[in-house]
Structure 1
């Protein structure tokens, strides 16, 4: 008998945690942080969980036997498969027993390892001792009685995958997060084509974008960036996700076309250096003449900061202040304090270009951001393309794949989804958290 249980991702964006049991084999599909549930009880850093018991108490961390490093039971989990590196899919592997192998794409492993080096270890993000086993498309990974087939998909972070899980009772398809309107729609088309070949018994799919859908693409993002940067007479500041290499590439190309240099943070530079070793990503080199690294003034630098500063050319706030019309500065919410030194000129602007910041990867307090921008006279532009599939693309995909049952997760409008899909052949099942479902 094969069963699967949702411990996260139900009626919320992110926090995916799915336990699949096939005979004596137990596999976790993603093990992410639930931002929405966490924020119901905590406000980091002022009110933080003391230990794992706090997270278990509120159901932020599910009660799983033989899963956690902090419990004394023998491991009962055979493997974890991560679809991608976003924290809402990966962060809580930190709590798992170190003998449980973590399977993921090579790029996901690179990103997570880089994050673990540039972040101080914390209760909710500590990867020390975890064993990563990487795969690429074409691999078929045998775990006990199940076999997992990873297929690449396009998302707002590189190295994203969906999975086809072949079990003793039938086939399960898990999309992870995917889209058909990004810079590499061909990756998602491969996933859809392969999934349709097997006529899956169960399909677990994301349904993030069911309301306020913005139809855009990375090409349209590039055109909008060109228009803004070309017209700006002062400093252009940009807020985009650290691992969104499509967006980094778009800002880099647009800055270069408009005779500016892109200035990235030390953290972005370190991750770029690690990812640029992958020839499939076509990223600028860290020592590129049109790329600069922003060096914040402080008394001591971490080892990784010293390493990255030696690899490229750095600039500080004083040089940026003197050359504002020559630069596009990556400036996150947490970098705003640098504006007191830079003092943006008239005609400067701020571009928010991040994907679904509240629930997946970043935390932005838009009220405080607006206060900062108003103080310095910086208009805010929103130039964005979602990392998630649009409703019409999703409907078309599900009709092609034609699974027997569909379980929509990673979304907050399951009723809307169910009605939108009511005339397709597949049966739509609205999942419930902690409830066990059978395959087929």
Structure 2
């Protein structure tokens, strides 16, 4: 392999042969960086750890020398002497499989991410239940995060990292272009070409062109073959998803219609609000997140007792929503779902990439069944946050890396590199 004489080291601590939990280290002499800082997600696992000790014991996160908060007392794990002068962690986006353990990070180590992701992380964790909590309670529920502007370059000793926006279904998502004195590495984070930020992905590809190493996610090839048609229910792109939702609404003028979506997909909900024939009403927590991320206030209802600072003039009484069959298109989040027995019979519910995400989650089947139990039509309308198989190849061909390293996938071997080599790393491997 033509890169074997380089001083730069890349270690694949986690995120290999799985989806989620990506933790990769790039080191050059006395400087090193990590990305991302989430944990593997398996809703079907019998044990669901709630702290760092459990995550380590269940092998859902790796033990990293001198990286975790030293105040956390761990049994069976101990750091060795720190030989690095410069350390930093980068967060590509907000999704929990990339961000859930950031509060376990040593507070002395800077954590960088785009300003949009920083804002969303603090907002989503307002109730201290989005990411794993800090070991010791502080004024804020979330550790300090350094927000960087789009395309800003951060220097960590001899390593330079350009944080670039990319198209994904999480607000503030980014890829990284990493330069050491002898290597250029591109990391896609989670990426696609069929959302509202396609040009951002193309700009990332251009900046990464002819890089030495490309680390690319491969979620879609875990489940699809090249040439597989898009599922009948799935939208080709985000604008078509809006059209499909509006078609359901327009074709059912006298039915109660509810929906749910993933909370970090701010751009999707803003476009739903902008284009839907009905008045869109969100759960108060979701309305707060939209307001903090975009500055836009939305109609909302509230079932919890939290103070979100929302405009009382935009509040809709929950009983009015329960009785409505024509005016509102409203969000049925988990609190409202407890009142499913009060929904109108013969109504419609639209599930658009909300949790539970699919059949791999044991909660999905009973979730779907409860709608039929109450004579409510369940409509699945997804639009993936991940590049489809041929789009992954398009991204690879645009970048033309010397070495392709597929990660974040159950079937990474399906991706190929027409311009160079391919490496399928093992967990814990250093190259």
Q: Is the pair's TM-score, using the shorter chain for normalization, greater than 0.5?
A: yes
Check conservation: 2:283, 2:333, Cα contact below 8 A: no
Matched position secondary structure for 1:325:
coil
Mapping for residues 350-429 of structure 1, pairs under 5 Å: 350-354=349-353, 358=357, 365-417=363-415, 421=416, 424-429=418-423
Aligned-pair CA distance for 1:177: 0.7
Distance 1:228 1:209, change over 3 A: same
* Whole-Å separation in 2 of the counterparts to 1:270 and 1:329: 15
Check conservation: 2:103, 2:131, Cα contact below 8 A: no
* Whole-Å separation in 2 of the counterparts to 1:395 and 1:269: 37
Partner of 1:281: none
Q: 1:261 aligns with which of 275, 279, 282?
A: 279
Distance 1:204 1:345, change over 3 A: same
Matched position secondary structure for 1:303:
coil
Aligned-pair CA distance for 1:128: 3.9
Aligned-pair CA distance for 1:364: 7.6
Partner of 1:60: 60
Q: 1:178 aligns with which of 155, 167, 191?
A: 191
* Whole-Å separation in 1 of the counterparts to 2:355 and 2:419: 31
* Whole-Å separation in 2 of the counterparts to 1:163 and 1:312: 42
Distance 1:335 1:318, change over 3 A: closer
Aligned-pair CA distance for 1:358: 4.3
Partner of 1:226: 246
1 or 2, which has the higher helix percentage?
A: 1
Aligned-pair CA distance for 1:311: 5.2
Partner of 1:294: 301
Distance 1:217 1:129, change over 3 A: closer
Q: Which runs of 5+ in 1 are unaligned?
A: 278-284
2:27 counterpart of 1:33: no
Q: CA RMSD in A?
A: 2.4
Aligned-pair CA distance for 1:33: 1.8
Check conservation: 1:356, 1:386, Cα contact below 8 A: no
Mapping for residues 333-344 of structure 1, pairs under 5 Å: 333=334, 335-341=336-342, 343-344=343-344
Distance 1:123 1:190, change over 3 A: closer
Mapping for residues 30-429 of structure 1, pairs under 5 Å: 30-36=36-42, 39-43=44-48, 48-49=49-50, 51-69=51-69, 70=72, 78-120=87-129, 123=132, 128=141, 130-196=143-209, 199-210=210-221, 211-212=223-224, 214=230, 216-232=236-252, 233-255=254-276, 258=277, 260-277=278-295, 285-286=296-297, 291-296=298-303, 301-304=305-308, 307-308=309-310, 310=311, 312-333=313-334, 335-341=336-342, 343-346=343-346, 348-354=347-353, 358=357, 365-417=363-415, 421=416, 424-429=418-423
Check conservation: 1:218, 1:246, Cα contact below 8 A: no
Aligned-pair CA distance for 1:379: 1.3
Distance 1:123 1:192, change over 3 A: closer
Aligned-pair CA distance for 1:129: 6.2
User: When the two structures are superposed, what TM-score results if normalisation uses the length of structure 1?
Assistant: 0.85
Distance 1:26 1:128, change over 3 A: farther
* Whole-Å separation in 1 of the counterparts to 2:283 and 2:96: 20
Aligned-pair CA distance for 1:224: 0.7
Distance 1:432 1:169, change over 3 A: same
Q: Which runs of 5+ in 2 are unaligned?
A: 1-6
* Whole-Å separation in 2 of the counterparts to 1:326 and 1:345: 17
User: When the two structures are superposed, what TM-score results if normalisation uses the length of structure 2?
Assistant: 0.86
Partner of 2:4: none
Check conservation: 1:99, 1:130, Cα contact below 8 A: no
Q: Which has the higher contact order (CA 8 A, sep 6+)?
A: 1
Partner of 1:433: 427
